[in-house]
């Protein structure tokens, strides 16, 4: 590769790969400075210059203008410097051309290595930037393999990503070539390709899936106010319409449940309760405890812990609490209120709430 070929090659690389030619020129110059120091000794004041038009390469040892010369290679007297150029003053540096005879050959080898290195770096940076932009978003991945630790390696475009055991839905099985929706948790830059961590259990995966299924959620007409999730089992999601006349719950559920069913199928049967959000804590808690019917909710406004007492029909107590307490646990997590539930007969027998001060709901058992 001669000088002209080098310039043409760098122009081609710059256009095709989007790499700034100047970055490559500077990298080659720095590399050649290192080569010169090995040849002439480790002098600090050395530089290499590549003509950006012709590709000609020259090496210089820079000599400092001093009052008393100690080393002819690093120092030059003021008198000698002024004889070269009258503008030189003490402390200036004078270039001494030390270009080796075979400099072109070693420069070409160095240039090739630098170009290859810069291409790799540029490709890694491009991939990193592409996936950093997708952090906290949802994407479709293809299962490639399962490693010895139980982590699932999936393909996202051209890149591998890791679905760790802790981010897998409990009980879910993965087979090679399965297509699954994943939430991109984190993208970490490394000296090689970026490391991508994904999740199937993160609560925001639910939000992203609804954005894909519901145009109203995607465009902000329907706002998701909160999500409480126990991955693989049940999710409760509170929604609110920012446009009068739009049914927020209906927009998420879809006609005949088509939209929510598509998400349930993607999550292999995870139940999803979509409820209306309310500024009124009692209304919000009432809705969050569905599918159970609620007779009364008493809010303790003076309690810093934000606690509420709830009364349900006798036949609805187990439904309100849920299997292993899941329904009330998710409702509490969704609303941010600590919820204490009793059946109507228990509440009346223990004076659990002041029935005269709360509005009782009419409900069919």
Q: pLDDT by residue for the chain (365 residues), tens digit each?
A: 566 777 777 777 777 777 777 888 888 888 888 777 777 765 667 888 888 888 788 888 888 999 999 888 789 999 999 999 999 999 999 988 888 777 766 666 766 777 777 778 878 888 899 899 999 999 999 999 999 999 999 999 889 999 999 999 999 999 999 999 999 999 999 888 899 999 999 999 999 999 999 999 999 999 999 999 999 999 999 999 999 999 999 999 999 999 999 999 999 999 999 999 999 999 999 999 999 999 999 998 777 789 999 999 999 999 999 999 999 999 999 999 999 999 999 999 998 988 776 666 665 54
- Secondary structure letter of residue 186 according to DSSP: E
DSSP element (H, E) containing 111: helix 103-132
**What distance in Å separates the CA atoms of residue 290 and residue 333, rounded to the nearest whole number?**
14
- Give dist(CA 209, CA 309) in Å, integer: 34
180 phi, psi to nearest 5 deg: -135, 150
- The pLDDT of residue 355 is 75
Supply the DSSP symbol for 359.
Answer: P
pLDDT of residue 349: 92
* CA neighbor of 263 nearest in space, from 224, 309, 316: 224
Question: Tokens in use for 275?
Answer: 């409820």
Could you tell me the CA-to-CA distances from 289 to 65, 72, 270, 295, 330 in Å, in that order?
84, 88, 17, 11, 8
R_g of the chain, CA atoms, integer Å: 35
Cis peptide bond upstream of 105, omega within 30 = no
Enter the pTM of the model: 0.75
Q: What is the pLDDT of residue 37?
A: 77
| pLDDT at position 109 | 72
Angle, in degrees to the nearest 10, between helices 103-132 and 21-40: 140
């Amino acid at each position: 590769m001669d000088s002209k070929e080098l310039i043409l090659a760098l122009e081609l690389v710059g256009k095709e790969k989007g790499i700034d030619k100047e970055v490559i020129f500077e990298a080659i110059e720095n590399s050649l400075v290192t080569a010169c120091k090995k040849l002439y000794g480790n002098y600090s004041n050395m530089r290499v210059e590549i003509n950006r038009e012709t590709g000609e390469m020259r090496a210089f040892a820079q000599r400092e203008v001093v009052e008393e010369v100690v080393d002819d290679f690093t120092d030059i007297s003021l008198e000698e410097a002024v004889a070269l150029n009258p503008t030189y003053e003490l402390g200036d540096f004078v270039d001494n051309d030390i270009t080796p005879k075979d400099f072109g050959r070693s420069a070409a080898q160095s240039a090739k290595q630098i170009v290859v290195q810069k291409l790799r770096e540029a490709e890694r940076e491009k991939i990193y930037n592409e996936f950093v932009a997708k952090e906290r978003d949802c994407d479709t991945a293809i299962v490639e393999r399962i490693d010895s630790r139980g982590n699932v390696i999936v393909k996202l475009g051209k890149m591998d990503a890791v679905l760790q055991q802790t981010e897998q839905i409990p009980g879910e099985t993965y087979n090679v070539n399965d297509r699954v929706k994943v939430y991109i948790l984190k993208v970490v830059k490394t000296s090689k390709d970026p490391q991508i961590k994904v999740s199937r259990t993160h609560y925001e995966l639910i939000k992203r899936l609804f954005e894909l299924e519901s145009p109203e959620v995607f465009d902000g007409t329907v706002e998701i106010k909160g999500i409480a999730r126990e991955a693989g089992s049940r999710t409760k999601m509170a929604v609110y319409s920012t446009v009068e006349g739009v049914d927020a719950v209906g927009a998420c559920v879809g006609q005949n449940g088509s939209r929510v069913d598509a998400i349930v199928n993607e999550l292999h049967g995870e139940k999803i309760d979509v409820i209306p959000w309310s500024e009124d804590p009692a209304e919000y808690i009432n809705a969050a405890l569905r599918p159970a019917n609620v007779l009364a909710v008493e809010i303790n406004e003076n309690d810093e812990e934000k606690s509420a007492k709830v009364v349900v029909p006798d036949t609805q107590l187990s439904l309100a609490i849920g299997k292993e307490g899941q329904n009330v646990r998710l409702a509490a997590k969704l609303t941010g209120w600590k919820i204490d539930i009793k059946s109507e007969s228990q509440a009346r027998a223990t004076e659990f709430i002041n029935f005269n001060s709360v509005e009782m709901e009419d409900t069919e058992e």
